[in-house]
A and B are shown apart, each in its own frame.
Chain A
Amino acid sequence: MGMTMTQKILAAHAGSELVKAGQLIQADLDLVVGNDITTPIAIKEFSKIGVDKVFDRGKVAIVPDHFAPNKDIKAAEQCKMIREFSREKEIKNYFEVGEMGIEHVLIPEKGLVVSGDVVIGADSHTCTYGALGAFATGVGSTDMAAGMATGKCWFKVPAALKFVLNGRPSEFVSGKDVILFIIGMIGVDGARYKSMEFVGEGLLHLSMDSRFTIANMAVEAGGKNGIFLVDEKTLEYVKSHSMKPCKVFEPDEDTVYDEIYEIDLSYIRPTVAFPHSPENAKPIDEVGDIQIDQAVIGSCTNGRMEDLRMAARILKGKRVGKDVRLIIIPGTQSIYLKALEEGLIRTFIQAGAVVSTPTCGPCLGGHMGVLAKGERAVSTTNRNFVGRMGHPESEVYLASPAVTAASAVTGRITDPEEISD
């Protein structure tokens, strides 16, 4: 019986010809990732194992991004701990403030993942790298420690859901709308323990940035991983960012999937996930009148060039609503610089938005835009559970950069078409 893309990658890394869903395997790792809130626990657990070195200094990446630049003394201590560990173990891919970015935007940019890789990260949105045709999944700190020590990780081989994407998304519809639509359709456990495999001619109309967004939120449907079929766009990205050799795995013709979904991208509307779940998705036409206090454009979900360009397009020549705080966070230094060169930062500031150095910040209610009781935000981030962005009695609506930017102007959740020129 045929294997999925995910199964083929896992088989190759487990030294097997064939793997089946449900089978337990141990796979060799190409990369182990951690951040400033998950690596401290990993360091403590690593020290208990009793090995002196990490398995491969070039295959561990540590990025302070959640509460960095240091949000308070405790966060500073955590960042110090991971810095010292990285120094001591001579970790090649430790990114200090000044070079760091949001990990899941930074790591593909730095060419640390290529098609065919197996990656674990102590962060649930590690699944982002599936856009490159890699197997990438989130794990906890103990698995990160074990991975750093041994270079291996155990997995239960997942079955898969296939998403055949056809058609062309309309002007203001992007990856975020596609994935919110999907999570709304299948629920926050619709892909539990499964791979979400994305194929179809619609891929021609999805940029790499949109694909990163879609793969990023596979975990929000319960997915073990999200993965895109590798095409010219993928290879162009990989080859222009990385020297690492890559391998392309295509699904077999006779592969059996648990479910196959055919999705016409041209039918997808700008989509908004209402509090307090990413599955609470509605098309913009059914949103009604939702007044907002804050808008956030950034995060590992939507902090890339395409996202900032779309936001600038909507905001150019306009002003952020008087009672709205618009916070824009480029995902990496390189993106920030490019946005500066393209005049996007000027557009943002002239519109009345604020622009921050790369950080996860408000996405998890950490810093750089926390919500008070009763406040409401629309955000390009990835979760809106109770208390996610601040007070337990605040609300977060998830949306695309286009919707978020448009909403910042009007002060209520808005269809970008309504205000675009």
Chain B
Amino acid sequence: MKVKGTVFKYGDNIDTDVIIPARYLNTSDPKELAKHCMEDIEPAFVEKVKPGDIIVANKNFGCGSSREHAPIAIKACGVSCVIASTFARIFYRNAINIGIPTLECEEASKNIEQGDELEVDFRTGIIHNLTKNQTYKVQPFPEFMQEIIKAGGLINYIKKNMTRV
């Protein structure tokens, strides 16, 4: 599976309060949450982002709260994947659970810039920077996580394995 889109580039420690401020957590509706994604760090994000676009950040992306609303908001904006040099653990776990690809790649996060066009191939783990004509290789997920991603998230994975038993 491949995705292609324009990059929105951020720095270190992008926390869950800027991804989706807590004042919007009185709803779990993805469409509502999408309207406020990245609001306190880039109010124009929701206007500019198009389906397929890609968020790229430096270290510790998604730090802070366990709110699943954060990857939900990102996914509901149409973002096709998130690339960072490192992720905070709860965000990473949540993103995989809800089926939004998160790729850890230091080289990618160092070299990719705002506005670059990327193509990402999840099967091969190759990120192709079309603007800079560079490629970066991502570590493959552990097999167990690949099963969750293949199943389309944790709930589907559980259903699949429950019926088998």
Binding site for B on A (CB under 8 A): 24, 37-38, 40-41, 44-45, 48-51, 66-67, 71-72, 74-75, 78, 121-124, 126, 138-143, 145-146, 149-150, 154, 188-189, 192-193, 219, 222, 224, 277, 364-366, 370, 383, 385-388, 392
Q: What residue of chain B has the Cβ atom nearest to residue A78's Cβ? A: B26
Cα of A72 to Cα of B40 in the assembled complex, Å: 22
Q: Which interface class (under 10, 10 to 19, 20 to 34, 35 or more) fits B?
A: 35 or more
Q: Is B154 within 8 A of A142, CB to CB? A: yes
23 interchain pairs, CB-CB under 8 A? A37-B26, A48-B159, A67-B25, A124-B64, A124-B66, A138-B90, A139-B90, A140-B66, A140-B94, A140-B98, A142-B68, A142-B154, A146-B154, A189-B60, A189-B63, A193-B89, A222-B88, A224-B89, A365-B21, A383-B17, A385-B15, A385-B64, A392-B21
- Residues of chain B within 8 A (CB-CB) of A189 are 13, 59-60, 63, 86, 88
- Residues of chain A within 8 A (CB-CB) of B64 are 124, 383, 385
Interface centre among B86, B89, B97 (most CB of A within 10 A): B89
- Residues of chain A within 8 A (CB-CB) of B154 are 142-143, 146
With A24-B142, A385-B17 as known contacts, state yes or no: A37 contacts B25, CB within 8 Å.
yes
A160 to chain B minimum Cβ distance, whole angstroms, is 14
Interface centre among B41, B86, B158 (most CB of A within 10 A): B158
- Residues of chain A within 8 A (CB-CB) of B111 are none
Cα of A262 to Cα of B72 in the assembled complex, Å: 40
Cα of A78 to Cα of B27 in the assembled complex, Å: 8
Which B residues from 1 to 45 make CB contacts under 8 A with A? Answer: 13, 15, 17-18, 21-23, 25-28, 39-41
Q: Is B26 within 8 A of A140, CB to CB? A: no
- Residues of chain B within 8 A (CB-CB) of A40 are 28
Cα of A74 to Cα of B23 in the assembled complex, Å: 11
Known: A189-B13, A388-B17. 12 other contacts (CB 8 A): A49-B155, A124-B90, A142-B98, A142-B154, A143-B94, A222-B89, A364-B17, A364-B65, A366-B22, A383-B65, A385-B18, A392-B21
A390 to chain B minimum Cβ distance, whole angstroms, is 8
> Nearest 3 CB-CB pairs, A to B?
A140-B94, A74-B26, A364-B22
- Residues of chain B within 8 A (CB-CB) of A141 are 68
